[in-house]
């Protein structure tokens, strides 16, 4: 069945900006909704093994939810495009060609996910499209030189594409006029059960990774890759999340659960999430070298989202495909530097099914 795309007005920001919502769908199989505020993935409806369609992404039923004070006070990037840099940067600074750039702290004393006004809080220009076998929307934003103290004017495109098989792809493309750094991702929170009052500890998870990145007490990578063998981070076979996060381990204590980057062995089918109760299954492929896995450790029920549910600890899991966190300060890791004339490109694909 051919996918369809429709557009509507989702609402208006407190500043009066109109926000557009795009729905990409195949009837009875998948429905994806994305908005141009933050190039955000807002909804994902999938059937369970009985054909019941349910939304499996944490978020809000209305645009106003994204601006409620309770959420802003406990902000967690629900479904947002995160940039210029995903994750934390040590000492809120980095150097390029001998010049040090100091970044604003926006989570306590830490610079996180692009800063105070990152890409998650911008209105993007939307261009919907249709081809013979797919539909989608490309969001465009120009990040000016000096925004959040990052160098260079960066043009960035984020494209959501749904093809006739029901496969969803999120792709990124960026260019700069000055040497800069870039490492975007999407911060979707997913609970395949469709019941956000349940946690995801009963979900089974697989990630094709022999190594993960251990953290220091500030939740920053220490710059080494450690084998997952013999640790709670060994998900090289499908394992229930609860069986792993209950293991006594200092790394789990630091993050209050899993909030770690895994070094992927290969791009195809490199992560799987499965909920046995509903039968829903997600299989992920990516061109990125790593995936940051976050088990919703600091969700605390402080704001009410979809279905009138206050999202509590571990009510969802995040699978953030990206280069390694703080790579600009850790020469052991692949570079996140982007030069003028170069094009940054990244793709992540999601295949959904039932078993």
pLDDT, tens digit, 9 for 90 and up, residues 70-113: 999 999 999 999 999 999 999 999 999 999 999 999 987 889 99
Q: What is the pLDDT of residues 287-303, one digit of tens each?
A: 999 999 999 999 999 99
The answer, as to whether pTM is greater than 0.75, is yes
Structural Rg of the chain based on CA atoms:
19
**Is residue 111 part of an annotated ligand binding site?**
no
Low-confidence ranges of the chain (pLDDT < 50): none
The fold of the 4-354 domain, in CATH, is: Beta-galactosidase; Chain A, domain 5 (2.70.98)
The full DSSP string for 278-338 is T-EEEEEEESSSEEEEE--TT--S-SB-GGG-B--TTS-BEEEEESPTTGGG-TTSPP-EE
**Can you give the pLDDT at residue 259?**
98
Q: Is 270 left (phi over 0), alpha (psi -120 to 50) or beta?
A: alpha
Active site residues: 187, 320
189 carries a ligand binding annotation = yes
Each domain of the chain, given as residue ranges in start order, spans 4-354
pLDDT number for residue 19: 99
What pLDDT sits at residue 220? 94
260 is in an annotated binding site: no
pLDDT at 1: 81
């Amino acid at each position: 069945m051919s996918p369809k795309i429709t557009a509507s007005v989702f609402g208006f920001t407190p500043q009066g900006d109109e926000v557009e919502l795009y729905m990409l769908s195949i009837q009875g199989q998948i429905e994806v909704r994305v908005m141009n505020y933050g190039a955000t993935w807002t909804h994902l409806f999938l059937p369970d093994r009985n054909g019941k369609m349910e939304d499996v992404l944490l978020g809000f039923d209305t645009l106003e939810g994204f601006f409620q004070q309770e959420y802003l006070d406990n902000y967690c990037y629900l479904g947002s495009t995160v940039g210029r840099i995903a994750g934390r940067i040590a000492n809120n600074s980095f150097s390029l060609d001998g010049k040090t750039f100091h970044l604003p702290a926006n989570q306590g004393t830490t610079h996180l996910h692009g800063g105070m006004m990152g890409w998650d809080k911008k209105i993007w220009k939307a261009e919907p499209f249709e081809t013979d076998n797919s539909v989608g929307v490309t969001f465009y934003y120009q990040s000016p030189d000096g925004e959040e103290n990052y160098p260079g004017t960066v043009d960035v495109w984020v494209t959501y594409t749904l093809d006739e098989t029901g496969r969803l792809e999120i792709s990124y493309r960026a260019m700069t006029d000055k040497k800069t750094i870039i490492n975007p991702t999407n911060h979707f929170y997913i609970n395949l059960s469709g019941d956000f009052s349940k946690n995801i500890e009963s979900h089974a998870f697989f990630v094709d990774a022999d190594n993960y990145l251990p953290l220091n007490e500030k939740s920053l990578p220490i710059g080494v890759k450690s084998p997952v063998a013999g640790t709670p981070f060994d998900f090289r076979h499908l394992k229930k999340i609860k069986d792993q996060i209950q293991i006594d381990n200092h790394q789990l204590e630091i993050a209050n659960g899993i909030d770690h980057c895994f070094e992927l062995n290969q791009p195809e089918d490199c992560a799987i999430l499965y909920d046995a109760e509903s039968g829903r299954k997600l299989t992920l492929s990516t061109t990125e070298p790593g995936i940051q896995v976050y088990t919703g450790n600091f969700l605390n029920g402080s704001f009410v989202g979809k279905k009138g549910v206050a999202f509590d600890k571990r009510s969802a899991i995040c699978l953030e495909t990206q280069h390694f966190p703080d790579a600009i300060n850790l020469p052991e890791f692949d570079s996140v530097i982007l030069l003028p004339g170069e094009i940054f490109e990244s793709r992540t694909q999601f295949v959904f099914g039932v078993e």
